[in-house]
Structure 1
Amino acid sequence: MSMPEPILSIRGLRVSFDTLDGTVEAVRGVDIRLAAGETVAIVGESGSGKSQTMMAAMRLLASNGRATGRADYRGQNLLELDKAAINAIRGRKISMIFQEPMTSLDPLYTIGNQLIEPIRRHQGLSRAKARAEALRLLELVRIPEPERRMRSYPYELSGGQRQRVMIAMALANNPEILIADEPTTALDVTIQAQILALLAELQAKLGMAIVFITHDLNIVRRLADRVYVMREGMVVEEGPTDRVLSAPQHDYTRMLLAAEPEGHKSPVPDAAPVLLEGREVSVTFEIGGGFLASKLALRAVDHVSLALRRGQTIGIVGESGSGKSTLGRAMLRLMPSDGEVLFAGRDISGLGAGDMRPLRKGLQLVFQDPFGSLSPRMTVGQIVSEGLRVHQPALSARDRDGLAAAALAEVQLDPAMRNRYPHEFSGGQRQRIAIARAMILKPSVVVLDEPTSALDRSVQKQIVDLLRGLQAKHGLSYLFISHDLAVVRAMSDYVLVMKAGKIVEEGETERIFDDPVQDYTRALMAAAVDNQRFANA
């Protein structure tokens, strides 16, 4: 049977980056085709070249990157168009949902303004008409209270809500092609299912073609007509989704299908000392407000208590917006809160920034979004050793560099790469860099905020093994915040289940997973089981 004429045809695409260590080839001769109305998935491990392939086609490579070959959209080679011509296509005919919405949304502008401006630019509408269209788009992607959210800033939205905003922005000008780069990685299983259903519904309604870049093979099985499997910058297998996932021909594809975090963590002794304790911790945000409008109080964390012992890992799970990340930041005194927070028996609730500074080296945070938390203007060596300037100012530059090299080696990265910049690394490598930056200060408590959410299963497994090894070696205590229940089960010995800012259930990991009491916990577990059934179908 003949294939339909492609709307996008990528042929012989090569992408390379000039670095201080020489030229790095990220994509090596890739061919991909996409027909009108079709959904194609590109899968592979972190660093396989998935995102860079489509970033090159969109002409969005970093300044030190270059692409050769062809990326033909309706007969036009996108790689050869001038700036005006590519801008007329990008955002109007071809749109992209980026992997990390918090770094793609401007923190200084409201959601409404960020939707209105591209609509006015591409469609020439008045501000009033563009505003009405922006409101319609928020309703289309089912943002609750869209009128109020038009006035919100990105930090006031949950991860799931920010991702819906990104989808709305991508759909603003009715594109023919939607490129979705890991659009559900930071979302819990229930919100993920809603986003996937929304994309499928919008595709049917609008007739778009979709390129889905993902490490999640469950998503591929649900949505894609065809799949391309990439490894080390090349396509190693391609074909109809059912055939590739049910009867893979390449060993690498079989490895991806088999990868899953394993093992479990034994509970710590009751006699283990409590290092970090929260007593009736609450966090309230004031949102909205302005001329003739009153502010609204949102209780993000509502009288939560927890006690983290030495060597323990407490997993914190719940839907997007349940208060997981806010609780983690409150426990580190990174945001104002009510209630008490104690570190090593000392009440740190009322301490100011100056008094907290000496304690910061013992309380570290690994962010959900490593790319957004790593300065693009600093080398990896400078990023990892940055905390030493504050906490060990007497160290020489040579000593700091040596400690950075040792920290990178401990997270299984080549220390010779410390002169490179963050954009030259894969997502999994960037997460290792973020972990190294925390570990170099020898902390006793680390809050891990979705540290594996943007990583494929095989790399997730590596990061889980790395974190467990560091914990055993250094006696670390973790607060492990995640929507990925398989990873939580492998990492944690105790679990808190959060909903609407409250703990609705808690207990030892095996009990929570095998015999949940609350309906909400059972619903989370059921959604995770459904996802796994799709993977094994």
Structure 2
Amino acid sequence: MTDTKTPLLDINDLHVHFETNSDKDVHAVRGIHMHIEKGETVAVVGESGSGKSQVMMSAMGLLADNGWVEGSVKYNGAEILGLSKRKLNSYRGSKMTMIFQEPMTSLDPLYTIGRQICEPLRVHQKMDKKRAMARALELLELVGIPEPKKRLKSYPHEMSGGQRQRVMIAMALANDPDLLIADEPTTALDVTIQAQILQLLADLQKKLGMAILFITHDLNIVRRFADRVYVMKTGEVVEEGNTAEIFDNPSHDYTRMLLSAEPEGTKEAPDTGAPVLLEGKGVNVTFNITSGLFGSQTHTLRAVNNVDIRLHQGQTIGIVGESGSGKSTLGRALLRLTDISGEVLLDGVDMSEIAGDAMREQRKRLQLVFQDPFGSLSPRMMVGQIITEGLLVHHPELSAKERDLRAIEALEEVQLDPSMRNRYPHEFSGGQRQRIAIARAMVLKPRIVVLDEPTSALDRSVQKQIVDLLRDLQEKNNLSYLFISHDLTVVRAMSDYVMVMKQGVIVEEGLTEQIFDAPTELYTKQLMAAAFDLEPISA
């Protein structure tokens, strides 16, 4: 019989190393101690690269091939570090399970949801196909999937992000685990879906009595969800304690920095007489939806529905809404990167009447910065080449030396060392890559920049730096921004005007202060409650 005082998971003096191509190995985790009691919720927080995920990957025996571990990991008093894969599998998927940040990369696109949920049931409980499918249906009902019987036959791409994350939770719960490890499970989700997933986990925890280990860089979630907190920096635990104590009386400078890393301040609206640079009148974007082997059309989807928008010089319009609301499509429509009906006017001129060289001349005034800089920067080009690529198109008269000087100026403007221009994107952190993406846009001296979720993939401390950088660049160059995001904290700090989208329609718009402090539409109120409700989550 197990001693009730024995921690469910007990990690002692854990070190994680990775072999690299250089002479020096990476010491990613440095002698940390952690424990999780039965039924409690523990959060591990820290910036990217702090080692928080590697701790749990080590405990689960999921390290990359070039990694190795020293120390002790005990489950219910039994040492599991160093067990063979066969013995470790008796713990993984049954007693300890894990859900990851991006369910689309964790779910197999070739198999139905039902088949994927059945797999751990058939492996660990030796269920036959009929019993496993019946249990899979129960699990989908448990995690609140609508039409669960129908969804058993669905493929991952046929479900929304929130539904896919619920499927991952269902798979993790299949064998009634004692410990659920959740690695950034809500980072990629909208605020309303995020709130639903957190509430679901709290309800399931109360119902099933399991412990939850929550890995995240979002301190608002930690405040609402966790009993205890471990704060990690560069592979070490720098502070630990009860959640209220950590938030109210942090003792370490790094913890204080994390807590103060929220984007702050407000943006003043431009003068009422500021000229209108970009205007959309009755903008519509429609997509033909196809299915089947030969792509026969089944129906049309109106992604943007009769939207009017006016962007003044020096203004930042924040466009908010859940995934699928049409906000990114609207941004691309205003840049004329997709077919539309309606009018888009640039300095009063209908852009549909501009073509050829004249359109190319206008393109340099309109720039776009994407959500994922790693995906939008060519891995085969050095940073200097990436930044100056647009100059080859828009300023072919410049010499190679002149382009290089422009790259140096652009890197200095985004506060990066110009000597870095001879490196490749993979040699930079996420925040540095986003600065490079911004430099690529700024080198053409644009007047309007569309920022599509430019901070959502970044830690809060890095988000704050990017927000401050974008503000400085806007003030220095008198830029106008369209800021597209589902992160309402960042939108409030960046924007002087906000438009709320739902299913392609603007449901509410107004000055930032008005939208955030006194929203009138139910949908807007729901978004605000999901983003800023700091009450603890209770089952």
Q: Same fold (TM over 0.5)?
A: yes
Q: C-alpha displacement at 1:197, in angstroms?
A: 0.4
Q: C-alpha displacement at 1:363, in angstroms?
A: 3.6
TM-score by length of 2: 0.80
Corresponding residue number in structure 2 for 1:164: 166
Q: 1:236 to 1:277 in 2, by over 3 A?
A: same
Q: 1:505 to 1:289 in 2, by over 3 A?
A: same
Q: Is the 8 A contact 2:114 2:151 kept in 1?
A: no
Amino acid at match of 2:69: T
Q: Is the 8 A contact 2:17 2:68 kept in 1?
A: yes
Q: C-alpha displacement at 1:488, in angstroms?
A: 1.3
Q: Distance in 2 between matches of 1:85 and 1:360?
A: 60
Q: Is the 8 A contact 2:288 2:297 kept in 1?
A: no
| 1:269 match: secondary structure | coil
> In the alignment, does 2:281 pair up with 1:279?
yes
Q: Distance in 2 between matches of 1:159 and 1:6?
A: 31
| 1:254 match: secondary structure | helix
Q: C-alpha displacement at 1:166, in angstroms?
A: 4.2
Corresponding residue number in structure 2 for 1:196: 198
> In the alignment, does 2:230 pair up with 1:228?
yes
1:111-150 alignment, distance < 5 Å: 112=113, 115=116, 119=120, 122=123, 136-145=138-147
Q: Distance in 2 between matches of 1:216 and 1:77?
A: 30
1:231-310 alignment, distance < 5 Å: 231-285=233-287, 289-290=291-292, 295=298, 297-310=300-313
* Counterpart among 490, 493, 496 of residue 496 in structure 2: 493
Q: C-alpha displacement at 1:314, in angstroms?
A: 0.5
Corresponding residue number in structure 2 for 1:51: 53
Q: 1:235 to 1:397 in 2, by over 3 A?
A: farther
> In the alignment, does 2:465 pair up with 1:483?
no
* Counterpart among 468, 473, 478 of residue 470 in structure 1: 473
* Counterpart among 432, 435, 442 of residue 438 in structure 2: 435
1:524-535 alignment, distance < 5 Å: 524-531=527-534
Q: Is the 8 A contact 1:21 1:420 kept in 2?
A: no
| 2:36 match: secondary structure | strand
Deviates more, 1:239-248 or 1:384-393: 384-393
* Root mean square deviation of aligned Cα: 4.4
1:454-465 alignment, distance < 5 Å: 454-465=457-468
1:401-412 alignment, distance < 5 Å: 407-412=410-415
| 1:42 match: secondary structure | strand
Q: Show CA shifts across 1:172-209 (max 9, x none).
A: 56554333222223434332221110111223334433
Matched residues, number: 531
Q: Distance in 1 between matches of 2:387 and 2:61?
A: 30
Q: C-alpha displacement at 1:315, in angstroms?
A: 0.5
Q: Which structure has the larger Rg over C-alpha atoms?
A: 2
Corresponding residue number in structure 2 for 1:330: 333
Q: Is the 8 A contact 1:215 1:455 kept in 2?
A: no
Q: C-alpha displacement at 1:12, in angstroms?
A: 2.6
Deviates more, 1:416-425 or 1:340-349: 416-425
Corresponding residue number in structure 2 for 1:66: 67
| 1:18 match: secondary structure | coil
State the identity %. 64
Deviates more, 1:442-451 or 1:497-506: 442-451
Q: 1:126 to 1:374 in 2, by over 3 A?
A: farther
Q: 1:440 to 1:230 in 2, by over 3 A?
A: farther
Q: Show CA shifts across 1:333-365 (max 9, x none).
A: 444444333445554569999997776554433
Q: Is the 8 A contact 1:57 1:71 kept in 2?
A: no
Give unpaired runs (5+ residues) of structure 2: none
TM-score by length of 1: 0.80
* Counterpart among 310, 316, 320 of residue 319 in structure 2: 316
Q: C-alpha displacement at 1:237, in angstroms?
A: 0.5
Deviates more, 1:356-365 or 1:484-493: 356-365
Q: Is the 8 A contact 2:368 2:451 kept in 1?
A: yes
Amino acid at match of 2:278: L
Q: Is the 8 A contact 1:370 1:431 kept in 2?
A: yes
Q: Is the 8 A contact 2:118 2:133 kept in 1?
A: no
Q: Distance in 2 between matches of 1:440 and 1:254?
A: 36
Q: Distance in 2 between matches of 1:385 and 1:359?
A: 18
Q: Is the 8 A contact 1:422 1:430 kept in 2?
A: yes
Q: C-alpha displacement at 1:494, in angstroms?
A: 0.9
Q: Is the 8 A contact 2:99 2:168 kept in 1?
A: yes
Q: Is the 8 A contact 2:121 2:175 kept in 1?
A: no
Q: C-alpha displacement at 1:534, in angstroms?
A: 5.9
Give unpaired runs (5+ residues) of structure 1: none
Q: Distance in 2 between matches of 1:277 and 1:33?
A: 57
Q: C-alpha displacement at 1:305, in angstroms?
A: 1.8
> In the alignment, does 2:55 pair up with 1:39?
no
